Each structure stands twice: as structure tokens, then as C-alpha cells.
Amino acid sequence: MSILDINKIRQDFPILDEQINGKALVYFDNAATTQKPVQVLDALANYYGHYNANIHRGIHFLAEKATSAFEASRKTIQNFLNAEHLEEIIFTYGTTDGINLVSQTYGRKFLKEGDEIIISTLEHHSNIVPWQMLCEQNGCVLRVIPIDDNGDLLLEEYEKMLSEKTKFVSVVHVSNALGTINDVKFIVEKAHAVGAKVLIDGAQASSHIDIDVQDLDVDFYVFSAHKIYGPTGMGVLYGKKDLLNAMPPYRGGGEMIKEVTFEKTTYNDLPYKFEAGTPNIADVVAVKFAIDYINNLGKKNIANYENDLLIYATEQLSEIDGLRIIGQAKKKVSVLSFVLDGIHPQDVGVILDQQGIAVRTGHHCTQPLMNRFKIPGTSRASFAVYNTTEEIDKLVIGIHKVKKMVL
């Protein structure tokens, strides 16, 4: 029994009152992006309506208020991740941007021809392509951890892959396509034993799992605000201070400099060295309210409730003839991917949308993973704290309608 008042929580999300094709919205696309509570919406409107100004460089009232709110978010995120130093929190435009920053700064400076980079079969394209690009630039070798038929990493194979050639490991904390929770602490420990650095893609984990970067001893951790009930276009890179100091800037321009002449430029201190130009101020300000919202509910309470939804949905969908769940990992977050015999996932999505039910269909930016299961894609229902078992019942009815219409 959940200790959360789900009806009250649902009132915080105005979009849930929308009608889609004359039906009440059932939003099961939370792994793509979560909806935003009024606290976040109000924070955005309040910034633009009452203290919109550029930050750091102004001495007038609005600039100082905007700067204070902007930096308050950095402190909140430091606590959210349990980072040791405030300057280890770098604002980015999202998880993808953070991974590219690390690959093109740490990677280009410290990785050389023949060095090995390890990723996994579960990765989102955002944690594949940047490393492929680096391998093309520097002559590194990309290696891939395999998975079993349940969608769990074969960690014994990972251990065999590690050697003195291994210089970097970049893996997802939670699979966006299957919901698999990886044992990232084990992955970090084993990588460090051979001297490799580790980046963890926390895009899907950030709203479901308590993250302690010091306990994980991870070198880099990235996530996006829009996966945690915050705005789009804003993300976070955590990096150990000594590594960030050793890395060159990613972009050049204002804010990331100390002094500029035509002969030479000196760079700013952390975190500003990696935050060139006018940042995404409003969205950075608003993410604090998203994290406060999560903290007020309690992340463990959220995770427990979402797990109850996952168990219920798994039981209900498993009873549908011709439906096969893809990804039955030992530990999962509230993501449920499935295929229907003889029906393309896109058809599933279109017909469910006609009933007001939003799911994601396709390869979910994980084409190599879909190839591993020999399927073109899946239909994916992903649950958040504002979803209900009654909505899952609607999904089950909707899937039966899909079968009746197509088969």
C-alpha cells in the first residue's frame, strides 16, 4: 500500500486533465520525458515575469536575484547527487551534451590509439555515437559488454574484457528501453582496478534511484532535468574535481574565460570553465523546484510506488495472448517493453493514441539492443508517480482493441 496520496499528486500536473481524441489522457511515455508539476511551471513563469536578467556579470537587483536562484539550483543538485564539491556540478543542455563534453575533452586529451573504451549492449545512441566518433578521431577501440536474454549485463564477460588497455568505461545506469538496473558500483570498482575512468549515464536512473556519486566513486555522472519532472534543454554533468580541472574547455566564449587578449586567453575556474555563453537560466532555476518536489515526496516512496505499478502491469500484460515482454531483468525500474505477435509496434502506438493512451514505439534510440533481440522495436509503457493501476487497466483494454482491429 502506497503512503503517497496519488490523487493529490495528480492534481499537481495540469496536463493530466487534457483530453486526447475525446478521452482522458493516459500518459505512459515517462521514459521519454516526464510531465511537469505546477511548482516547476510556476518557477518558470516567475523567473520570466519577475526577475528575468542575465546572470553573474550584472550588479543590478534583477541580475543578482537571477544569479542567486541559478546558483541555488547548483547547490540543490550537489546535494541530490551527494557530490563533494559544488564546483563539480556542471550545467549542460542534457545527458547527450554531457557525454559529448566528456568524450571531446577528457577523451581527446587523454585517450590515444589502441586504448580501449567499453560500453554495453544496453546503451542509448547518445552513449554509443560520441565514443564511436572519438575512436575515429583518436584510433581508440570500442568494446561492448553483452547481455543475456533477460536484458541483464553479462558482468563476467565484462571482467574478462578489462585489461591494461582499458582506459574508459561508459555505461547506462538504467536501460531506457528495458528498465534494467545495472550494478554500476561493481562496474566502477572493476574499471578502477585496471586504472580506467568511468562515466555513468543516469538519464533514466535519476528519477527512480538514490544516487550517491561519492559512494559509487564514479568519475563522471550525467542526467537530464526533463526526466525528473523538470524542464527540457537542461542537464547536469558531475565530474571529479581533479579530472574536470585537467580537461580543456568544451566551448569558447563568454563566462568561461578569465582574461582575453588577441594573443592569449586564460580560462575561468570550475564550474564556469565549461559553461560558455548565456546559459539556459530559467530552466536551471526551475530544476531546483523539480528536485524539491521529488525530495518532498521521497524518492524511495516514489520508487516503491512505481515498482508496484510495474509488478501490476507485468502481471496484467502477461495474460494477453500473443504479447511478449522484452526485458525481464532481475532488477528493473518502471519500464515495460513488449511486442505483439503479427502487429507492428507503430500500429500499436497509433491505435492506443486513438484511445488517449500515450506510449512510445520504435527502437527507443537503442537499435543495437533491438538487433540483439532480433526485433525492429517495441511498444514501451513507462510509469511515473502520477500513474495509476486504473490507467494500466485502460492500457490492457486498449491492447485488446489493437488486436481486434489489426488481426
Contact 379, 339 (CB under 8 A): yes
Q: Which residue has the cell 544569479?
A: 67
Catalytic residue check, 365: yes
* CA gap 395, 406 in Å, rounded: 16
Q: Which of 62, 161, 365, 375 is catalytic?
A: 365
pLDDT of residue 159: 98
Collapsing DSSP states into helix, strand and coil, what is residue 364? coil
pLDDT of residue 58: 78
* CA gap 130, 126 in Å, rounded: 7
* CA gap 37, 34 in Å, rounded: 10
pLDDT profile of the chain (407 residues), mean per 10: 89 97 96 98 98 90 96 98 98 97 97 98 98 97 98 98 98 98 98 98 96 98 98 98 95 78 82 90 98 97 97 98 96 97 95 97 94 95 98 98 89
All structural domains of the chain:
6-29+298-406 (3.90.1150.10), 51-295 (3.40.640.10)
pLDDT of residue 1: 54
pLDDT of residue 252: 79
* CA gap 279, 71 in Å, rounded: 12
pLDDT of residue 251: 84
* CA gap 254, 134 in Å, rounded: 26
Collapsing DSSP states into helix, strand and coil, what is residue 117? strand
* CA gap 234, 257 in Å, rounded: 22
Which amino acid, 250?
Y
Grid coordinates belonging to 182 = 545495472
Alpha helix (H) residue ranges in 12-88:
38-50, 61-81
* CA gap 361, 351 in Å, rounded: 12
Q: What is the 3-state secondary structure (H, E, C) of 44-61?
A: HHHHHHHCCCCCCCCCCH
* CA gap 86, 100 in Å, rounded: 22
For the CA atoms of 206, 212, 217, 219, the dihedral, rounded to the nearest 10 degrees, stands at: 40
Minimal CA–CA distance to 288: which of 75, 11, 12, 86? 75
* CA gap 138, 131 in Å, rounded: 10
